Amino acid sequence: MNRRLGHIAATLALVALALFAARMGNGDGSAREAKKFSVEFFDTFDTLVSFTAFTKDEIEFEGYARVVHDEMLRLHRLFDIYHDHDGLVGMKAINDAAGGVPLSVDASIADLLEIAKDAYEDTGGAVNVTLGPVLKIWHDHRDRAPANSGDAPIPSLEELQAAATHVSASDILIDREHSTVLLRHADMRLDVGAAAKGYAVQKAVELLRDAGLKSGLINAGGNVVIIGPPLDGRESWNIGVRAPDLEELRPAESKLLDVLYLSDGAAVTSGSDQRYFTSGGRRYHHIIDPETLFPAENVRSVTVRHPNSTVADILSTAAFVLPPDRARALIARHGAEALWVTGDGKKLATPGYLARSQLVRSADAAKGGAAEP
C-alpha cells in the first residue's frame, strides 16, 4: 500500500456535491427532500474510494462519510503488509513475528484470517493468503520494471519455488479465545490483498446500516457495495463494470464492459489490466496461480455478484485463477453470479448475472452507457 497517498489525504476532504434532489416519504404521510451527495478519498487500500448516499442534508451525509472513512482507514492500517502503524499490531507485525511467539491482535485481524483459512479450503488453494513470499517477488518485479520498457526481467521458476516452501493456510495459527495469531514457520508471510478490500467495504457498509443509512453506495476500486435503491424514484443504481482492455481487441468499444442495475449486495471485479508489467510482448499481472506460481492465464477479468462483499472479493480472485469448470462450480456452490471475459474477449455469464445486466437489455451493451457514481 502506498504511504505517499496516505499522507496526501491524511484528513478527509469532504467535497460533497448535491447532484439533485428527490422526494422521500417520511412514514407520516409528509415528504422531505433527499439529496444525493458524493465524496472520494485516496488514502486507503492504494485505491480510489468513492461514497455516494441520499441523505436529508450535507451534515447527515458528512456523518456517514466519516463512518466509511474511519473504518476503511482503521482496516487499511491493520491489514497493511508493507508498513507498521503507530500503536497497532497489524499484518506486518504478524509477518515479522513468524515462527516466534503468538501476537495479541485486533479482532478484525483474527476474523479476516479465519475467513482466509476457510477460503483456502473452499477454493482448493486458489486463494491463498500465505503466498506472501511469492507475491512479494512479483510485486518487487512490478515496482522495478522500467515504465514503457516492455522488456522487464521476470522472476525465475526456481526463485518462485524457493519462496513457496511454507504456503499452507493451515499453518496460520489463530486462537480466537485469546485473540492471538502466529505463523507457524519463520519463512511464512501473509498477503491479504485478495480479500482485504472486500472485507473493509463490507464492514463499512454494516456500520452505515447500523447508523441508519437507507440509500448509498461504496465503490473501492471496482469493489462495489450497495445499500438500498437510490431515493430518486429509480429502482436501482447503474454500476459500470470496467472493460479489461477490450479496446486492444476491439478498438471501437468503450472502456465500459457492462452496466449492472443493482439495489443491494456487492459486485467485485478482478482484472489483469490494473497492476502489471510487460516483458517480451507478454503481460505479467498481479493475480498469481498457486499451481504455476505465475500470473493466472484463464481469463482477462471476472466480475462476481454476491450479497456479501468479502465473499464476492474472494470469489472474484478464485474465479479468475481456477480453470473454467471449477470456477463455475465454485460460483454456483455459493449461489453467486459472475461474468467472465476470456482471453479472446468473449463474455460468459451466469443467468442470474444477466438478469441485472445491460448485456441483455442491449445487444450492443459494450458500447457503454451511463454509470455512477
Name the site residues for Mg ion (rule: CB under 5 A): 194, 313, 316-317
Question: Judged by CB under 6 A, does residue 338 bind ligand ADP?
Answer: no
User: Which of 101, 102, 96 has the alpha carbon at shortest distance from 80?
Assistant: 96
Separation CA 92–CA 81 (nearest Å): 4
Contact yes or no for 202/310 (Cβ under 8 A): yes
Please work out, in degrees rounded to the nearest 5, the angle formed at the alpha carbon of residue 108 by the alpha carbons of 64 and 38. Answer: 20
Cβ proximity to ligand ADP: between 17 and 164 the closer is 164
Question: Judged by CB under 6 A, does residue 189 bind ligand ADP?
Answer: no
Site string for ligand ADP, 129-168 (x = CB under 6 A): x-x---x---------------------------------
Cβ proximity to Mg ion: between 201 and 246 the closer is 201
Cβ proximity to ligand ADP: between 24 and 217 the closer is 217
Interaction partner, residue 229 (Mg ion, ligand ADP, none; CB < 5-8 Å by kind): none
Question: Judged by CB under 6 A, does residue 298 bind ligand ADP?
Answer: no
Cβ proximity to Mg ion: between 128 and 316 the closer is 316
> Cβ of residue 66: shortest distance to ligand ADP, in angstroms?
24
The amino acid at residue 3 is R
Separation CA 359–CA 363 (nearest Å): 6
- For residue 224, the surrounding DSSP H or E stretch is strand 223-227
Q: Total binding residues for ligand ADP by CB under 6 A?
A: 20
Using CB atoms within 10 A of its CB, is residue 238 exposed (0-12), middle (13-18) or buried (19+)? middle
* Interacting residues with ligand ADP between 265 and 294 (CB under 6 A): 270, 274, 286-288, 290
Question: Judged by CB under 6 A, does residue 216 bind ligand ADP?
Answer: no
Interaction partner, residue 274 (ligand ADP, Mg ion, none; CB < 5-8 Å by kind): ligand ADP
> Cβ of residue 286: shortest distance to ligand ADP, in angstroms?
4
The dihedral region occupied by 287, where left means phi > 0, alpha psi between -120 and 50, and beta the remainder, is beta
Cis, peptide link before residue 153, omega less than 30° from 0: no
- The string over 281-298, giving b where at least 16 C-beta atoms fall within 10 Å of a residue's C-beta and e elsewhere, is eeebbbbbbbeebebbeb
Question: Judged by CB under 6 A, does residue 50 bind ligand ADP?
Answer: no
Q: What is the CA radius of gyration of the chain?
A: 21
Q: What is the contact surface with ligand ADP in residues (CB under 6 A)?
A: 126-129, 131, 135, 191, 193-194, 197, 270, 274, 286-288, 290, 313, 316-317, 321
